[in-house]
A and B are shown apart, each in its own frame.
Chain A
Amino acid sequence: MPSWLLRRALVLGAGLAVALTGAANAGEYNLTVDRVTVDTGTFSRSGIGYNGASPGPVLRFKEGEEVTINVTNNLSEPTSIHWHGLILPFDQDGVPGISYDGIAPGDTFTYNFPIVQAGTYWFHSHSGFQEPDGAYGAIVIEPEKREPFRYDREYVVQLTDAHPHSGNRIMRNLKMMPDYYNRQQRTLFDFLKDSREQGFDAALADRAAWGDMRMMPTDVEDLQGFTPLINGRSTEQNWTGLFKPGERVRLRFINSSAMAYFDIRIPGLKMTVVQADGNNVLPVPVDEFRIAVAETYDVIVQPKDNRAYAIFAESMARTASVRGTLATAEGMAAEVPDQRMPPRLTMADMGMAHEGMDHGSMDMGGMSHTMPDGSTMQGMNHGGAGMTGMASGAHKMPDGSTMKGMDHSGHGSMAASDPFYAPGSGLTPTAANGGKFLSYKDLRAQKPLYEHREATREIEMRLTGNMERYIWSINGVKFSDAEPVRLQYGERVRFKFVNETMMTHPMHLHGMWSILDVGKGKWNPIKHVVSVAPGTTVFMETEVDAPGQWAFHCHLSYHADSGMFRKIVVEGGPDGKSAQVPSSKTEG
């Protein structure tokens, strides 16, 4: 019996056992969906929250538990809750028009599903722009077995990009004028500066190329003017987590932003990444990491001094930041680091380097130093673009010093290379302290969920868009014009994401895991969001083991709404039994 079938059988069995033994391992939870005030210190506006607050409560479940969640809609409009990253029956997934009809004003909907996993997840509304307006909360699931790491205390660190405008207003503005919220536009002055530096013709050609793309080099964030919050608090409001010196603290980072990616660091502390998207990874000590929209990363830190440490999150385009604090007493505030210079997209992000970017065949790790002929490093030919696949700083000692005696000549800008960015990309992150910046290629599943096998077929998904009209699409077709993607139960599908836009898209498949291809075979990490940078091709594989119909979309709220979205239908099921899906109905 294949392991995925076996596990599904076990899951079903576990569910049955719970049903038979009654309420021994069942929990009941109540959530109300309410109008709330979102107050960032710099602005205050009406928003949506849970149990009277935004963010909503942290829901704490236990692996193996059968949960019942009563959700009461106190709004004057329909709502929904999607349990982001949870593996559950499709009719509990909370996407109106795909999983169910949603929750009408005044109604209570009761969710009921078994918890079959552990880790850090979150929940949010899947209706309109309620999530950007504040409708999100965290989920923490305690594992059945002891965790492969120790910590003395833990905190959820949930980020958002609170905006003074409501989601509906933002969408209207973007549709009317796609650069409405881009405050970093290049001016005539910049052009003259470029002309001085590059020569007039080059500067002009550069400008013309950007014009053809209907994009601008500053299009790293198409929504600016937001105030980032940590657990609902801005820098001034200073969310604080307490610790005693020497304690190991687990921080559960969740990016619940509508649009903003964040680069996160804690100056003075090394962070050991132990979990990504709820699944344990082999621990990776880093100085900084980037969290895509809707991803989660769990890190362990060990602050040893009796002082305040800043948890600093800068948006990817450096248009905004938020500081929280780890401190030994309330009222302590860590110094706010300076925001770094904004990145500029380059021609590489325009897709100029597309041809060379096949991550599937870029496993440099396996070949870097296992020379069968025993030849030395100096004799190795890393050959041009392939070099980008090599671990960045592979020979850098953690203290930042390079190892003497090793010949790095010709390796060029290795320190800033990351195969998940186009070579020469302006977006490739580097750590503020010159140390280790986490890359997708560092992630390895601590415990592979599936037996590794060849994919049964490949599906290409070109991520496309027309920035001028603010239409985002897949394979050039927006959701409202698209047929569902049909998968067969039991197959293993390899998705090929080709990002033909100049924006970074966090692609999210509901209901089934996204096994990100980092070239490590069975150790490839298991995620629920896969971020695809401009000018790159990224592969992920999915064991199609969940009957029913599911949402698949870019998790940037305004991209999803404007068409970068698909319905996935899984046909068939265990023993030929397919899920009972409601008659087809498509709405965003």
Chain B
Amino acid sequence: MLRSKLLSAVFGASLSLALISSGTAFAAGSHGGGHDMKIGKPGDPAKVSRTIEITMYDNYYEPESLDIKEGETVRFVVRNAGEFVHEFNIATAAMHEAHRPEMMMMMEHGVLEPDRINHKAAKAMQASMGHGMHKEANSVLLEPGKSGEIVWTFPKHADLEFACNVPGHYETGMHGPVKLSH
């Protein structure tokens, strides 16, 4: 149990590429310069108004859309009930789009396998290419059977989606709208 918690904490960290060598390539991406109020910000756990459970299947979410109040701080408990690795990521459609090539590259480098995250390959990739893994507060990447959490404070106005950017998942429908009410 302890082991699985530890693992999920590790796996909960979003794999993301700091593309040092091609710095500007992803300036528009979710990892270019932190999170401004455009998409919201990491939330204070003490200010959470409610918990929303997200279940990830192959390749879709339940629920399929989210109704959130402007400025609300929500705890998302995300469970991967599918047989493949999935991500729960809150961002704009453009940010998701920019994020997908990074995920594609991780798949091509064997870091992202269909049903697991290969940490050996991740380390090798980091060593050879200078790409690192670091935690992103707006997303969680989970192996099958694993759970993770995000606490997020939403902005007043934004066109947000929650989405999985594992190659092919977004394209085949694994995303949903975040409806912000006033």
A: residues with CB less than 8 A from B are 146, 148-151, 248, 270, 272, 274, 282-285, 300, 302, 365-366, 368-372, 374-377, 391, 394-395, 397-399, 401, 403-406, 444, 446-447, 523
Within the complex, which residue of A282, A375, A405 is in contact with B114, where a contact is CB–CB below 8 Å? A282
5 tightest Cβ-Cβ pairs between the two chains A and B: A283-B168, A405-B21, A150-B173, A149-B172, A374-B127
* A-B contacts at CB below 8 angstroms, number: 101
Is the Cβ of A374 less than 8 Å from the Cβ of B59? no
Is the Cβ of A374 less than 8 Å from the Cβ of B124? yes
B5 at the interface (CB under 8 A from A): no
Within the complex, which residue of A369, A404, A523 is in contact with B22, where a contact is CB–CB below 8 Å? A404
Is the Cβ of A300 less than 8 Å from the Cβ of B171? yes
Q: What's the minimum C-beta distance from A204 to chain B, rounded to whole angstroms?
A: 44
B12 at the interface (CB under 8 A from A): no
In the complex, 12 of the A-B residue pairs with CB atoms within 8 angstroms, ordered by the A residue number, are A148-B172, A150-B174, A151-B173, A272-B171, A272-B172, A300-B173, A370-B109, A374-B128, A395-B105, A405-B21, A406-B129, A444-B114
Given contacts A376-B128, A397-B101, A406-B21, contact A369 B109 (CB under 8 A): yes
Report A-chain residues with C-beta under 8 Å of the C-beta of B105.
Answer: 395
Is the Cβ of A365 less than 8 Å from the Cβ of B110? yes
Is the Cβ of A285 less than 8 Å from the Cβ of B167? yes
Given contacts A272-B171, A285-B171, A395-B105, contact A371 B22 (CB under 8 A): no
Q: Nearest chain-A residue to B121 (Cβ)?
A: A370
B125 at the interface (CB under 8 A from A): yes
Is the Cβ of B108 less than 8 Å from the Cβ of A391? yes
Q: Nearest chain-A residue to B173 (Cβ)?
A: A150
Q: What's the minimum C-beta distance from B166 to chain A, rounded to whole angstroms?
A: 9
Is the Cβ of A369 less than 8 Å from the Cβ of B21? no
Q: What's the minimum C-beta distance from A395 to chain B, rounded to whole angstroms?
A: 7
Report B-chain residues with C-beta under 8 Å of the C-beta of A284.
Answer: 167-168
Per the bound structure, the CA–CA distance linking A375 and B84 in Å amounts to 30
Report B-chain residues with C-beta under 8 Å of the C-beta of A366.
Answer: 110
Is the Cβ of B129 less than 8 Å from the Cβ of A368? no
Within the complex, which residue of A371, A403, A523 is in contact with B25, where a contact is CB–CB below 8 Å? A403
B: residues with CB less than 8 A from A are 19-22, 25, 57-60, 83-84, 100-101, 104-105, 108-110, 114, 120-121, 123-125, 127-129, 167-169, 171-174
Further pairs besides A283-B168, A368-B110, A372-B124: 16, Cβ < 8 Å: A150-B173, A248-B172, A270-B171, A272-B171, A283-B172, A284-B168, A302-B171, A366-B110, A369-B110, A370-B121, A370-B125, A376-B128, A404-B22, A405-B20, A405-B21, A447-B83
Is the Cβ of B108 less than 8 Å from the Cβ of A404? no
Report B-chain residues with C-beta under 8 Å of the C-beta of A270.
Answer: 171
Within the complex, which residue of A372, A397, A401, A404 is in contact with B21, where a contact is CB–CB below 8 Å? A404
Is the Cβ of A150 less than 8 Å from the Cβ of B172? yes
Per the bound structure, the CA–CA distance linking A447 and B104 in Å amounts to 20
Given contacts A149-B173, A284-B168, A398-B101, contact A368 B83 (CB under 8 A): no
Per the bound structure, the CA–CA distance linking A447 and B127 in Å amounts to 32
Q: What's the minimum C-beta distance from A350 to chain B, rounded to whole angstroms?
A: 32
Q: Nearest chain-B residue to A444 (Cβ)?
A: B114
Report B-chain residues with C-beta under 8 Å of the C-beta of A149.
Answer: 59, 172-173
Report A-chain residues with C-beta under 8 Å of the C-beta of B124.
Answer: 369-372, 374
Per the bound structure, the CA–CA distance linking A38 and B91 in Å amounts to 52
Q: Nearest chain-B residue to A280 (Cβ)?
A: B58
Per the bound structure, the CA–CA distance linking A446 and B84 in Å amounts to 9
Q: What's the minimum C-beta distance from B75 to chain A, rounded to whole angstroms?
A: 27
Is the Cβ of B21 less than 8 Å from the Cβ of A282? no
Is the Cβ of A371 less than 8 Å from the Cβ of B129? no
Within the complex, which residue of A368, A372, A403, A447 is in contact with B109, where a contact is CB–CB below 8 Å? A368
Is the Cβ of B173 less than 8 Å from the Cβ of A403? no
Within the complex, which residue of B21, B83, B127, B168 is in contact with A272, where a contact is CB–CB below 8 Å? B168
Q: Nearest chain-B residue to A152 (Cβ)?
A: B173
Report A-chain residues with C-beta under 8 Å of the C-beta of B22.
Answer: 403-405
Report A-chain residues with C-beta under 8 Å of the C-beta of B171.
Answer: 270, 272, 283, 285, 300, 302
Report B-chain residues with C-beta under 8 Å of the C-beta of A370.
Answer: 109-110, 120-121, 124-125
Report A-chain residues with C-beta under 8 Å of the C-beta of B83.
Answer: 447
Report A-chain residues with C-beta under 8 Å of the C-beta of B120.
Answer: 370
Per the bound structure, the CA–CA distance linking A282 and B112 in Å amounts to 13
Report B-chain residues with C-beta under 8 Å of the C-beta of A403.
Answer: 19, 21-22, 25
Interface centre among A248, A370, A399, A406 (most CB of B within 10 A): A370
Is the Cβ of A300 less than 8 Å from the Cβ of B110? no
Is the Cβ of A398 less than 8 Å from the Cβ of B58? no
Per the bound structure, the CA–CA distance linking A397 and B22 in Å amounts to 12
Per the bound structure, the CA–CA distance linking A285 and B173 in Å amounts to 13
Report A-chain residues with C-beta under 8 Å of the C-beta of B104.
Answer: 398
Report B-chain residues with C-beta under 8 Å of the C-beta of A365.
Answer: 108, 110
Q: What's the minimum C-beta distance from B61 to chain A, rounded to whole angstroms?
A: 10
Interface centre among A283, A365, A372, A374 (most CB of B within 10 A): A283
Is the Cβ of A248 less than 8 Å from the Cβ of B173? yes
Given contacts A150-B172, A274-B172, contact A371 B128 (CB under 8 A): yes
Per the bound structure, the CA–CA distance linking A274 and B60 in Å amounts to 14
Within the complex, which residue of A283, A368, A372, A444 is in contact with B169, where a contact is CB–CB below 8 Å? A283
Per the bound structure, the CA–CA distance linking A377 and B105 in Å amounts to 14
Q: What's the minimum C-beta distance from A438 to chain B, rounded to whole angstroms?
A: 12
Per the bound structure, the CA–CA distance linking A391 and B128 in Å amounts to 18
